[in-house]
Amino acid sequence: MNTEVTSIIDNITTMIFQPIATLLFSIGFLVFMWGLVEFIANPTNSEVKDKGKKHMIYGVLGLLIMVSVWGIVDLITNTLGIDCSQVQNGKPCQ
């Protein structure tokens, strides 16, 4: 594959996709944890418990969507024959 295309994909992956994915995973996890705290901390208040359940569901759905996006990106890079498995170690895509 052309080294310029590989370099562009490498830059997009390391500078854009990974930080955004990490941020979105963190947000999904925090939403889930906030819902769990709401659910556990208010055993008698059904309105707050329901709100906590919704937050937990939204957090899990967000995490599932992010895993799906990660899988789609992996599918595309594998289809194009690009190996980006070493990007986290500071090595470029091949």
Question: Where are the domains positioned within the chain?
Answer: 3-89
Task: Give the phi and the psi of residue 35 in degrees, each rounded to 5.
Answer: -65, -40
- Judge residue 84's burial from the number of C-beta atoms within 10 Å of its C-beta, 0-12 exposed, 13-18 middle, 19 or more buried: buried
For residue 87, the model assigns a pLDDT of 56
pLDDT of residue 35: 93
Residues (pLDDT < 50) of the chain are none
Q: What is the pLDDT of residue 57?
A: 95
What is the reported pLDDT for 49?
Answer: 92
